[in-house]
Chain A
Amino acid sequence: MSLQDRKWEIERFFQERTEVLAAWPSGRGVDLEEALAYHRGLPKEKVAYYKLLKGQAEGRIYLQPRAGVALIDEHIALLRSLEKEGEADFLPTTVDSYTRQNRYSEAARGIKESKAADRSLLNGLPAVNYGVKNCRRIIEATGVPVQVRHGTPDARLLAEITLAAGFTDFEGGGISYNIPYAKDVPLERSLLHWQYVDRLCGFYAEHGIIINREMFGPLTGTLVPPFISHVVGIIEALLAAGQGVKSIAIGYGQGGNLIQDAAALRTLARLGRSYLDRFGYSDVLLTTVFHQWMGGFPQEEPRALGVIAWGAATAALAGANKVIVKTPHEAMGVPSLEANLAGLLCTRQVLRMLAEQRVPETPELAEEESVIEREVREVFDRVLELGEGDLAVGTVRAFEAGVLDIPFAPSRAARGGIMPVRDASGAIRLLDTGNIPLSAEIKDFHRKKIEERGRQEKREPGLRMVIDDIYAISKGRLVGKPR
């Protein structure tokens, strides 16, 4: 396999680059020298890396919405409002789903039809179609860092174009933007394509421009136990650092139980740092991102705001460097500006109110943290062992063997052998651990927690319970009660 966790020689990168830029006409507009010069001229407040560095030093929690529409003028107007009225600390440019699958002609049709209909028919900005010059207008029109958010297994051209346009922050990774976002993309291929993206960021870093790379923590957003997203995030961080990335954010999606979420956020920062240090990447800035609830939302806006506020409270009490904010239109699809503002203001209000409070150090929190740390270690060690010391190779083999697995993933590259369910207090456990190499002691812990719920609800834990959990929050509870 040509995939290895080793920094690409720059010749290999430039060789592949010719082909990448030729994939769509806008690729011709990318000029690295010009891009570096543009980045050098950006004020620090518009650069993600500097803002994250400052925020971490000051203990601040930044807020970032999701937003993207088909037409660039409307997109810019949307971002300006989110910055001015919503006080967003980081702005997004969410990319549409055709672009995510490299279907640029369909994206072009989406632009055309959106113009004709005078409303957005795409769920994001088709940045590749717009090219460097148009995308740069976004950077020129805004005063805070703008991040590219998407879900693209092959984001090489998207990265070339948006980074050259002046974006300083790019989300995604070879696992987290494949397994939850694709059906047929081999993992080896997406890991190679993301090594390209990371090597591009490494090239920028070698020239003094540090691009922040964020790994997508929530994965499928559906009952993902913390240790699974932690292992994935840590692997992606190490692979990115291996290509020369100097600023990395790893993420976690809210589960809903405060103790488990607090334990997850606290261990994510600690474990991430310790693995980066252990692999020799002590010079890499590491930050954490918390995603408010990523599963199904209630239809009614006030109820949805309740879910959002609980996410805000969790972030405030447990600590994170950035929160990705949901909107009260979540159950309805792509949100309006007003809904996005409501999510931001609601979150800000709760964060400020809880700024002086921390989750109490209890035995329950300590136990939850120690369980997550053990789970991560047990799985990570096995991945490295499968790769005979090479993390990239080990990752591919681990997914093939089901040693790494993600619940409810659309991709054939995931084995789909595990089944999560909530315990009596709403923490996410594994009903079926599939081929994940957890120790007997940890498996016992999961089993006992689930049995406890079974007794309380007087039913055998099984698929019915899992489905009840998936619908639970949209129906007004955390734990899915028997219908």
Chain B
Amino acid sequence: MSRKDTVVLGVIGADVHAVGNRILEMSLRQAGFKVVNLGVMVSQEEFINAAIESDAAAILVSSLYGHGELDCRGLRDKCRESGIGEILLYVGGNLVVGKRTFAEVERLFRDMGFDRVYPPGTLPEVAIADLKRDLGL
């Protein structure tokens, strides 16, 4: 049974956008979560290893630079292979290249196995409220 108050946070792939990552970390801590913040340029394997080591209840993936589609593909499968197939997966940011409707983007990432998908500019409060609901906190 994973620890409901622990989440893993990071910016996936070759992305170096650090500002939102810092704000999210501060907001999650203020809301009472234990945060394993992997910072920028995090690989799928690093997310999963950190989640296993910290016994986390959720992995929160950010992507701001457009490669999110390539970087996130296969993450759910890798979680399953690593024995944490049921972990909550959230993703948010500027997830794709080019202007596409958010409904389209949401479907794309839900099909990849993400539980929640957020558009750019989402305030931390929104994701935190969802997280509490999903974890029954």
- List residues of A whose CB falls within 8 A of some B CB: 69, 96-98, 100-101, 103, 106, 109-110, 113, 119-123, 151, 180-183, 220, 222, 296, 299, 329, 331-336, 339, 408-410, 463, 467, 470-471, 474
Contact = CB atoms under 8 A, between A and B. Distances in A.
A183 B121 contact: no
A335 B99 contact: yes
B120 A97 contact: no
Contacts of B36: none
Contact of A333 (B13, B41, B96): B96
Interface in B46-83: 64-67, 69-70
The majority secondary structure among interface residues of chain A is loop
B19 A101 contact: no
Contacts of A333: 64-66, 94-99, 120
Nearest to A336: B99
Contacts of A151: 16
Interface string B97-109: 1110000000000
A183 B39 contact: yes
Given A101-B41, A183-B40, 9 more contacts: A103-B14, A122-B70, A182-B16, A220-B18, A332-B99, A333-B95, A408-B22, A409-B18, A467-B23
A463 B13 CA distance: 28
B67 A183 contact: no
Contact of A336 (B64, B66, B94, B98): B98
Nearest to A409: B18
Interface string B23-43: 100100000000000011100
Contacts of A106: 14, 70
Given A97-B13, A110-B70, A409-B18, A334 B98 contact: yes
B70 A109 contact: yes
B19 A408 contact: yes
A123 B23 CA distance: 24
A376 to B, nearest CB: 25
B99 A339 contact: yes
Nearest to A70: B97
A113 B67 contact: no
Contacts of B98: 119-120, 333-334, 336
Interface residues of B, number: 28
A410 B16 contact: yes
13 contacts: A96-B67, A106-B14, A122-B67, A151-B16, A182-B16, A296-B121, A333-B64, A334-B66, A334-B97, A336-B99, A410-B39, A410-B41, A471-B123
B115 interface: no
A448 B68 CA distance: 43
A474 B23 contact: no
A470 B97 contact: no
Contacts of B23: 467, 470
Contact of A463 (B26, B65, B70, B97): B26
B19 to A, nearest CB: 5
A121 B16 contact: no
Contacts of B17: 410
A272 B94 CA distance: 36
Given A121-B97, A467-B23, A183 B65 contact: no
Contacts of B41: 101, 182-183, 410
Contacts of A299: 120-121
A97 B67 contact: yes
A181 B121 contact: no
Nearest to B102: A332
Contacts of A182: 16, 41
B18 A121 contact: no
B15 interface: yes
A296 B70 CA distance: 24
A428 B95 CA distance: 30
Contacts of B40: 183, 410
A158 B7 CA distance: 38
Contacts of A410: 16-18, 39-41
Contact of B94 (A96, A180, A332, A467): A332
A312 B15 CA distance: 29
Closest 8 CB pairs of A and B: A333-B94, A410-B18, A123-B66, A410-B40, A97-B14, A334-B97, A334-B66, A101-B14
B70 A121 contact: yes
Given A183-B39, A334-B97, A408 B66 contact: no
B65 to A, nearest CB: 5
Nearest to A221: B19
Nearest to A338: B99
A329 B14 CA distance: 22
Contacts of A334: 66, 94, 97-98
Contacts of B67: 96-98, 110, 121-123
The winner among A151, A336, A410 for most chain B CB atoms within 10 A is: A410
Contacts of A180: 16
